[in-house]
Structure 1
Amino acid sequence: MKTQMLTRDQLDQAAAFIRQGELVSFPTETVYGLGADATNEAAVKKVYAAKGRPSDNPLIVTVSSEEMVKKYAANISEDAQKLIDKFWPGSLTMIFNLKPNVLSKAVTGGLSTAAFRFPKNQLTLDLITKAGVPIVGPSANTSGKPSPTTAQHVFHDLNGKIAAILDDGPTTVGVESTVLDMSVETPSILRPGAVTKADIEAVIHRNVMDERHHVGTDQTPKAPGMKYKHYAPNAQVYIVDPDDSWLDVAKWIEKHPQPIGVMAFDNIISSIDWPMNAQIITLGSNSRTASHDLFADLREFDNHPEIKIIFTQGLKPSGIAEAYMNRLNKSAGQMHFKQL
């Protein structure tokens, strides 16, 4: 299969591919997704095959209207409606109970719930509307690798495995959406993102649980990223915690002659006399730029196979930095500089 790179002017072709049961990568404000007709079981199964994704890892359903959600969701609570009004379109995915037999087990992982997302990207909303169906929307990468934030990242991972990539330039947020479980009595965050716990509580005026945990081998996760290794580049990532000394990191690098990757804020990069074998990429100046750049920077090091270790700046998990640290911890497999 030849993967086509499509532009905004070729939206009709992208929608035709979806209706034909083919796979099309689509842009959102967070990361690029891998789209297939969510009502076509055969098309959905192609997504798992293209990504190499475990079949018990449920897929997010991406929609272009509230009405499309209500066709499948069993009920939308008053709190959920408040969140829809505030954050949709945007970086909040919500899990609802489903009406009976409305979506394939290939979408839900066999659960009676599904996660719904209304992205803030007009090109993708137009794609879904033209296709006339909701589309599944996992990240458009090889399973376990850093999520794609450009069309070129998708092409690198999935060229020859999908019909097309709809290119709308780099994404603006850089980490996947917040996943909020609204199918339970107390709303629970299963994956942090740009919409924070404080943001949600300010709208619904009640406490929200933080239910992020590792799912056992015999359990089906309710949301992506809860069970399997994610976001890992080829090199081993080590987190440099806020209380670690970057001068100690530089000294460690100097003692090891092989090329070593470094990802840190501008002020840290400029404050240290780095050894020649340090290969440095900036994370910008704050948690928002770090979140935006994280996946792209990890992917950049994959272009340098001689680099086997990457030291990456850890942040105190507050606001969007919580989403950043969630992804970084998974990328590093919980490995820290102080463990060396």
Structure 2
Amino acid sequence: MNTKIWDLRQEHQTTEELDALKEMKRIFENDGLIALPTETVYGLGADARNEQAIHKVYEAKGRPSDNPLIVHIHTLDQLEAFTSGITEEIKKLMKAFWPGPISFILPLKKGYLCHSVSGGLDSIAVRMPSHPIGRRILQFVDLPIAAPSANLSGRPSPTTFDHVYRDLNGRVDGIVNGDQSEVGLESTVLDCTQFPFRIARPGSVTQSMIEDIIPNCITTQGTLDIDKPIAPGMKYKHYAPDTPVKIIEVLNQPPSSDKDWSKTAFILPRSKQNLVPDEATFIALCKDEQDIKTANHKLYQILHQLDQDEHIEQAYILGFPINDQTTAIMNRMMKAADQVIVKGEKL
């Protein structure tokens, strides 16, 4: 397949951009797949009403078909066609956080979206992204666009055009260049099919931010059925580079000098750089252990970088103490490291 590339980073409302948007609309209307930028990660978009198009999404990604997709919209009016049960509390949260990096799982109204987009569930996750290029595309095509991360299933999510191109060139109809994603982690997914609500996937919109809008609206009681996941990333291996990664629980002293660290990368805050062995590769995750926003932004970029550096055979990444601000990044780190944690003094 010949993959078309569009660069929409210049000022919009040009003849060239209008022609590109018209071409994208035709592709979406004819079962095609287009990778487009959002503020979280790049998404692989397809018409959420089209069974054949959604099948192509699963096929292009190598994604299990029971792993539900998130539908992207540009206006609240679109919700009426395929969702129900939107309470005043949900509307209040949508007003507070949309457009933005949060998805709401809502009761699914049958008959509009295709069956596969929800993974066979009676609910659907919906998001309204804030990325200016992604929004222009959604507004122009005016379709509900299902868009999981634009990468091969299980790999680190893509936050740059180059990440998408390496994974999906030749597998999709087109890729839109929109610079690096600002947030860098997938959206928060909030299950609104019950009250109190549940966070099905943590993201940059945190529990405390949500409860600042509606106090005590989130429960941590009960368990989510992982065998029938209601949100992406709940059941299958995700976010993992080919390079083996382990999480360091605490690092207050340099690792043992008796080992050969020449093919090892240490992914740490810059404030910890002095602890890295001279022969090892140092990769700065953020400024210090309080700089969570930068760590979120850079994590996937670094995981991709590991696989591009032929000199790196293993990597260690410093974990963060779990709190409201770090839940999302630790969720992604744990999956990338296949739950492997080591103590710094054991290195």
TM over 0.5, shorter chain: yes
Q: How many residues align?
A: 332
Q: How does 1:123-134 map to 2 (within 5 A)?
A: 123-134=133-144
Residue number in structure 2 paired with 1:136: 146
For residue 273 of structure 1, report the CA deviation from its aligned partner.
5.6
Q: Which one is further off, 36-45 or 119-128?
A: 119-128
- Equivalent pair of 2:197/2:219 in contact (CA under 8 Å): yes
Give the SS at the match of 1:96.
strand
- In the superposition, the TM-score normalised over structure 2's length comes to 0.91
1:172 aligns with 2:182: yes
Q: How does 1:259-270 map to 2 (within 5 A)?
A: 259-269=263-273
In 2 relative to 1, CA 89–142 (structure 1 residues): closer, same or farther, beyond 3 Å? same
2-side partners of 1:60 and 1:257: how far apart?
41
Which of 271, 275, 280 aligns to 1:272? It is: 275
Q: How does 1:299-318 map to 2 (within 5 A)?
A: 299-318=304-323
Which of 32, 40, 45 aligns to 1:22? It is: 32
Deviations 1:279-309 (A, max 9, x none): 1111121111111000000100101244232
Give the SS at the match of 1:311.
strand
Residue number in structure 1 paired with 2:253: 247
Residue number in structure 2 paired with 1:256: 260
Deviations 1:208-258 (A, max 9, x none): 024796754xx22000010001000011111111xx23524x326x50355
Residue number in structure 2 paired with 1:220: 228
Moved over 6 A (4+): 211-214
Give the SS at the match of 1:247.
coil
Residue number in structure 2 paired with 1:188: 198
Letter paired with 1:138 = P
Letter paired with 1:221 = P
Letter paired with 1:5 = I
- In the superposition, the TM-score normalised over structure 1's length comes to 0.93
- Equivalent pair of 1:190/1:210 in contact (CA under 8 Å): no
Give the SS at the match of 1:68.
helix
2-side partners of 1:258 and 1:12: how far apart?
51
1-side partners of 2:299 and 2:325: how far apart?
12
- Equivalent pair of 1:215/1:221 in contact (CA under 8 Å): yes
In 2 relative to 1, CA 212–76 (structure 1 residues): closer, same or farther, beyond 3 Å? same
For residue 274 of structure 1, report the CA deviation from its aligned partner.
2.1
Letter paired with 2:206 = T
Give the SS at the match of 1:235.
coil
Residue number in structure 2 paired with 1:337: 342
Give the SS at the match of 1:323.
helix
2-side partners of 1:287 and 1:175: how far apart?
12
For residue 114 of structure 1, report the CA deviation from its aligned partner.
0.2
Residue number in structure 2 paired with 1:230: 238
- Equivalent pair of 2:61/2:150 in contact (CA under 8 Å): yes
Q: Which one is further off, 156-165 or 13-22?
A: 13-22
Residue number in structure 1 paired with 2:12: none
RMSD: 1.8
Residue number in structure 1 paired with 2:283: 281
Residue number in structure 1 paired with 2:88: 78
2-side partners of 1:109 and 1:116: how far apart?
14
Give the SS at the match of 1:133.
coil
Structure 2: 5+ residue stretches without partners = 9-16
2-side partners of 1:267 and 1:28: how far apart?
31
In 2 relative to 1, CA 214–84 (structure 1 residues): closer, same or farther, beyond 3 Å? closer
Give the SS at the match of 2:96.
helix
- Equivalent pair of 1:74/1:98 in contact (CA under 8 Å): yes
Deviations 1:62-89 (A, max 9, x none): 1011011222111210110000110000
In 2 relative to 1, CA 212–41 (structure 1 residues): closer, same or farther, beyond 3 Å? farther
For residue 145 of structure 1, report the CA deviation from its aligned partner.
0.5
Instruction: Report the identity percentage.
Output: 38
Structure 1: 5+ residue stretches without partners = none
1-side partners of 2:217 and 2:73: how far apart?
27
- Equivalent pair of 1:288/1:321 in contact (CA under 8 Å): no
Residue number in structure 2 paired with 1:5: 5
